Structure 1
Amino acid sequence: MTADSREERAPRQEAEGRGTTEIAAERSVPLDEVKLAIGDSFQVQPQTDLAQSRYYVKLIGYLKGKSVVTTIPEADGKLCYLRDGQTLVVRFFAGKNAYAFTANVLRSSSIPFPHMYLNYPPQVRGLVVRAGERAPVRIICAIDMPQGTSTIAAAGLMTNLSVGGALLATKTALGKKGALLSVKFRLHVRGIEVLMAIDATIRSQSQDASGEFLQGIEFAGLPDATAIALTAFVYQTLAEASR
């Protein structure tokens, strides 16, 4: 997520010629206005020259103007204590919005259970990326389709991508409308490679002039971590395309 505030974007034509889409505005809001719940997932990324790792923690609670309390990050089943003063970029997903803020680790403790205190951010950057806002892409993906007791594998090219779904181009038809499938692909979000594995349903089918089959798919049941990465990628792609 870029730190530059872009309050308005002019509508632009989608790559596939299916109408217009508008790049969502990024705005700053107070943290206490975001509908957070205890146990919500946060993604934290240490800000050092060498650090590329991203960890997931759970929100324990917060006190306005004082501190945000989360669990300690884990990797390979082991706790990853962050040093006091360490600067983090914190990202999370709430409703249809993706949010981010920068915070420092105030203190980590293992008593009575592993947790850490972050300084309370005066504002968080929020971005709405609607399910219909499509980013033009060319991403090779692997597709698995359940057929009775077996699974059929296929390859495809994703030509547009949104938070709610995608358009897949394939050499053969994947199945009828309503058919279930699983799609796997890789995204690069601000230099970080993220492997996506998402369940989806075929919602539309057509065939282009070259004979390729086009399937519009709808994503189902996105975990928070997947939604955060997908939202960030779609926004990043739309922002870059508008420059």
Structure 2
Amino acid sequence: MDFAELKLPHGTSLQLRVTNSSGQPESFASRFVGALPGRSLILSVPRAAGKLARFRPGQRMAVRMMVANGVGVFAATVEAQSSEPFPLLYVSYPETVQFKGIRKSTRIAVELPISVENVSTISSENSKGLMADVSVSGARLELKDAVADIGDEIVVRTQVPVENLNLDWSIRAVVRSRVERSTQEQNQALPAVYGVEFVENAQESLLVLYAYVYSQIVADQTPQDSD
């Protein structure tokens, strides 16, 4: 889609992703200031460790943003950086913007170590394993032990990475399906596979869920640009 179609409001939050001199990806928070159609975009200069970040002309970056019900991503090249009268960053005007709508059913593949507790039974059975995929509505769990039946309520606990943070997270879910694995898969030590639906009402838990899922979807859609 064309950048103009986004009708991006001034002040829209952006994420700038670049590759540093060590070859490692770095992300910076910025805001959209304005545009010269067909020529340049004007962005605020991010801060890092309390100081204005420095970008060099010709440096490549990926810019991503949440818009409407999806994620917009485009590649850009730094044209100039000014400090007077305000710190501003000028980057190339994007020819096209990749847009991916986010649906409630959009699932992403993950490998999150988890612990699971069945809160529907008196004995509160527990097991460990992996979350193999996740969406904002549910997940696929692969566990060492069969600790739940269809219809049981469980609590899933793990840590999720969101940007530079590792957040402790727990969420309530109901088992909706049990997947029978082959003999070969059972030998992989995670024989109990469940499809679960999230039924959490706590706002904090849901905020972590949405932040994690959306950040992963955005990352999947970000062009991997180098200097």
Give the TM-score normalised by structure 1: 0.59
Q: Give the C-alpha shift of residue 39 in structure 1.
A: 2.3
Among 213, 216, 225, the alignment partner of 1:230 is 216
Among 157, 162, 184, the alignment partner of 2:130 is 157
Residue 32 (1) aligns with residue 13 (2): no
Structure 2 counterpart of 1:33, which letter? E
* Mapped partners of 2:45, 2:59: distance in 1: 13
Q: Give the C-alpha shift of residue 71 in structure 1.
A: 1.4
Unaligned residue ranges in structure 1 (runs of 5+): 1-28, 144-153, 188-192, 237-243
Q: Give the C-alpha shift of residue 31 in structure 1.
A: 0.8
The SS at the match of 2:26 is coil
* Mapped partners of 1:60, 1:227: distance in 2: 28
Maintained 8 Å contact 2:138/2:195? no
Q: Give the C-alpha shift of residue 112 in structure 1.
A: 2.8
Maintained 8 Å contact 1:57/1:71? yes
Q: Give the C-alpha shift of residue 164 in structure 1.
A: 5.1
Aligned identity (percent) is 25
Flag the 1:196–1:85 CA change in 2: closer, same or farther, 3 A: same
Instruction: Name the residue aligned to 1:197.
Output: 167
* Mapped partners of 1:59, 1:138: distance in 2: 34
Instruction: Name the residue aligned to 1:217.
Output: 198
Unaligned residue ranges in structure 2 (runs of 5+): 117-126, 181-190, 200-204, 223-227
The SS at the match of 1:38 is coil
Flag the 1:55–1:213 CA change in 2: closer, same or farther, 3 A: same
The SS at the match of 2:42 is strand
* Mapped partners of 1:69, 1:226: distance in 2: 29
Among 42, 61, 68, the alignment partner of 1:95 is 68
Maintained 8 Å contact 1:72/1:79? yes
Residues 134-180 of structure 1, C-alpha deviation per residue, up to 9 Å, x if partnerless? 2344321479xxxxxxxxxx96521321255534566668xx96x99
Instruction: Name the residue aligned to 1:16.
Output: none
* Mapped partners of 1:93, 1:232: distance in 2: 9
When the two structures are aligned, how many residues end up with a matched partner?
192
Residue 64 (1) aligns with residue 37 (2): yes
Instruction: Name the residue aligned to 1:43.
Output: 15
Maintained 8 Å contact 1:181/1:201? yes
The SS at the match of 1:53 is strand
Q: Give the C-alpha shift of residue 203 in structure 1.
A: 4.6
Maintained 8 Å contact 1:135/1:234? no
Maintained 8 Å contact 1:71/1:114? yes
Q: Give the C-alpha shift of residue 202 in structure 1.
A: 2.7
Structure 1 counterpart of 2:172, which letter? I
Give the TM-score normalised by structure 2: 0.63
Flag the 1:77–1:92 CA change in 2: closer, same or farther, 3 A: same
Larger radius of gyration between Structure 1 and Structure 2? 2
1:81-160 correspondence to structure 2 within 5 Å:
81-141=54-114, 157-160=130-133
